Amino acid sequence: MTIDSVTQMRDEGNSLSVGMKSRSTSTKYKVKCSGGSNASRLIEIEAHFLATTSLPYPGRSYSFGGETNALLVCDGLDIKQAGKSNELYFASAKYKQVESQEEDQPSPDTDPEDWSPRMRVRNVTYSEIPETAIYRSGLTGDAATIISAGDEVHISNSAFKRLKDVKPKEITGRAITITRWYSSTTPLAIDQATFPEDVVNSTLVYLTASGMKIKLEALSARLGKFTSEPTTIAGKKCLEITCEIIQKPQGSVNPTWRDVYLDIGTEPLAITGRADGKGGTITGTDVSTTKATHRPLATKFGDPLSEPVLFNGDGEPLTEAQINLGERVLLTYGDDNEIAFLGIDFLDGIASAS
């Protein structure tokens, strides 16, 4: 009997939201076997999980998808045949939260900046209405010379008319709170150079603290605001600084802090030299030198177009031939500036590339 492969399937529950009563989670694996009887396969699969330390087994701490949590311990492994399949099996590991141990109290004889950082995770759900965003990609031709990637603008089509289908965004994910302590007792100046706020991780990064290791896929996490306040710990006066990172879950409809919009509109961009829609050509006297100028689209009967049509990324409608070929242009906008979290001083010793 041979075990051909073991594949991670899913994590049922937010394994890193610790601190809640009766917190539990489970992970599931797909196991492919060949040879042997069903009884021998069940025995061999369990033995394989026992011998492979990266796989779950009763008594082991949580480890799945590059994340770990010392406060969750496997207390059961259930192995079953996948329906009538002779080759496939499912292995489900269940975890329970162990009694939370008090973290080591800092010594008053040490520098607060040497104290171990604290990391906490909880689930969050909220909504936000985007007013402006950071343009990322999608524009071509003349439109791409008017704004550049990284510019903060209103969410608009390629003719720079605001899109009407921008709706409030429902955000569901994990809130990761990180706290560190500093020797100063005077609130620090929170500036973008030292404590960058409202930024998204541009690359994959891992956060490790408080017995947990969290994986942040590129563009999945947004670092919000920093707060600071004087406090006294272990009889020592210090400054406590906290930040919160909101992470979108992988596997969701949109697991990143970027949004994609279909390029549609009713008024093309009016640019010198383009057709004016009336059989002529747009001249310099027809357009503004300070803002985008538009020309109306009309139906074949001459009536103003009421429903938007597909645009080409350069402020013009797609041709019928392009539409028939299935061409569509998507415009990408981001919520915030994107930087490498590995370069943030506050996350030094917490953030790593692996």
User: HSE (CB half, 13 Å, CA atoms) of 200?
Assistant: 20
Q: CA quadruple 157, 162, 165, 169: dihedral positive or negative? A: positive
Please tell me whether residue 177 adopts helix, strand or coil conformation: strand
Return the half-sphere exposure (C-beta side, CA atoms, 13 A cut-off) of residue 347.
Answer: 24
Measured CA to CA, the distance from residue 279 to residue 298 in angstroms comes to 13
Render pLDDT for 235-251 as a digit per residue (tens, 0 to 9). Answer: 888 999 999 999 998 77
Give, in degrees to the nearest 5, the angle at Cα 170 between 166 and 175. Answer: 135
What is the pLDDT at residue 48? 95
- Could you tell me the strand order of the sheet in which 152-154 lies? 152-154, 132-137, 330-334, 258-262
Single pTM value for the model: 0.78
Please report, as a single letter, which amino acid is at residue 303.
D
Could you please report the per-residue DSSP string of 269-293?
Answer: B--TTSB-SSSSB--GGGS-SSS--
- Residues comprising the chain, all counted: 354
CA distances from 174 to 14, 124, 177 (A): 8, 6, 10
Instruction: Write the CB contacts of 90 (distance below 8 Å, at least 6 apart in sequence).
Output: 9, 28, 29, 30, 31, 79, 80, 82
Angstrom distance (rounded) from CA 354 to CA 206: 6
Judge whether residue 300 has pLDDT over 80.
no
What DSSP string describes 39-84?
HHHHHHHHHHHHH-TTS--TTPEEEETTEEEEEEEEEEEEEEE-TT
CA–CA distance, 47 with 234 (Å, rounded to integer): 48
Instruction: Indicate the Cα dihedral angle 315, 318, 322, 325, nearest 10°.
Output: 100
- What torsion do the CA atoms of 56, 62, 67, 69 make, to the nearest 10 degrees? -160
For residue range 27-57, list pLDDT tens digits in order. Answer: 999 999 998 888 899 999 999 999 999 999 9
Decide if 349 contacts 116 (C-beta within 8 A): no
Written as six digits, the tokens of 118 are: 């604290």
The predicted pLDDT at position 291 comes to: 67
pLDDT for position 18: 42
pLDDT in tens, 161-220: 999 878 888 888 899 999 999 988 777 777 777 899 999 999 999 999 998 999 999 999
Lowest model confidence (mean pLDDT) among 111-125, 128-142, 298-312: 298-312
Q: Are 192 and 345 in contact (CB under 8 A)?
A: no
Residue 3 and residue 106: Cα distance in Å, rounded? 48
pLDDT band, residue 152 (cuts 50/70/90): very high
